[in-house]
Amino acid sequence: MAVLVFGKTGQVATELARVGGDDVVCLGRAEADLADPDACAAIIRDTDATGVINAAAYTAVDNAEDEEALATVINGDAPAAMARAAAERGLPFVHISTDYVFDGSGVKPWLPEDETAPLGAYGRSKLAGERGVVAAGGTFAILRTSWAFSSHGSNFVKTMLRLAETKDHLTIVEDQIGGPTEAGDIARACLAVARGLSGATGQGGIYHFSGRPDVSWAEFAREIFAQADLKASVEGIPASAYPTKAKRPGNSRMDCSSLQASFGVTRPDWRESLGRVLADLST
């Protein structure tokens, strides 16, 4: 299956290029700027690929509070335009979304069909994209994921390793819970879903995918330091003690059972994936 990927330098797009090999063509901003949705749609209309994955997005959660219009074009209008073009061509379209479409209340894992209620501009922009993809009427799958990390780009794992170089004690939020998800695992899930849609062996719709087990950011940090053999200690603090411009969901647990039922994709153990990432970073 030949797959056209929007995104090139982001965490998931980088892993799609790595795990997809010659079957994947990744387009960076120079080739496909999501701030120009019509141009992105035109690329799909002209492609020889047999499937499309959108792994590009506006991901600056705090900045989105001041740039909601731009975030909505990139995260909302562009995926909608891509999905319409893919539907015209009869191409399966896989779109990556986020746990931020929920309000983060409660403690139960979110189901794909649960009511959405974003807390901020980033979540609203991603929800707009989801609705546009659904409305396009083609063969699609929306993959909501959370807490992405990898050996490249900017992410929590690399931030913790950097901070531990100069600090022996860190205060990390402990009342936000979710599933850390390695970008390579997300990439493999996207490809599996795209192939399933292409072969009509999986049903389109909205799905969840995150690593297991669910933990707090503080617990995530402790595991990073343990595996990296770093002595930094972690003190858990409430999110209220670490204010950010954009409010983060407290509960990012996601029920991923429908993805396994439809495509055979199971939740990966993020602790094992973390070991691979740390090995990559050490080479």
Q: Is 97 within 8 Å of 153 (Cβ atoms)?
A: no
Q: What is the DSSP string of 218-265?
A: HHHHHHHHHHTT---EEEEE-GGGS--SSPPPSEE-B--HHHHHHH-P
Residue 280's contacts (CB-CB under 8 Å, 6 or more residues apart) are 151
24/49 Cα distance (integer angstroms): 9
How many other CB atoms are found less than 10 A from the CB of residue 115? 9
How would you class 69 by CB atoms within 10 Å of its CB: exposed for 0-12, middle for 13-18, buried for 19 or more? exposed
Q: Which two tokens stand for residue 103?
A: 């309000």
Strands 215-216, 177-178: pairing is antiparallel
207 is catalytic: no
Torsion (CA) 61, 255, 150, 134 in degrees, nearest 10: -60
Residue of 58, 100, 122, 207 with catalytic role: 122
Q: What is the DSSP string of 140-179?
A: EEEEEE-SEE-SSSS-HHHHHHHHHTT-SEEEEE-S-EE-
8-state DSSP, 73: I
Give, for 97, the enclosing helix (H) or strand (E).
strand 93-98
- List active site positions: 122
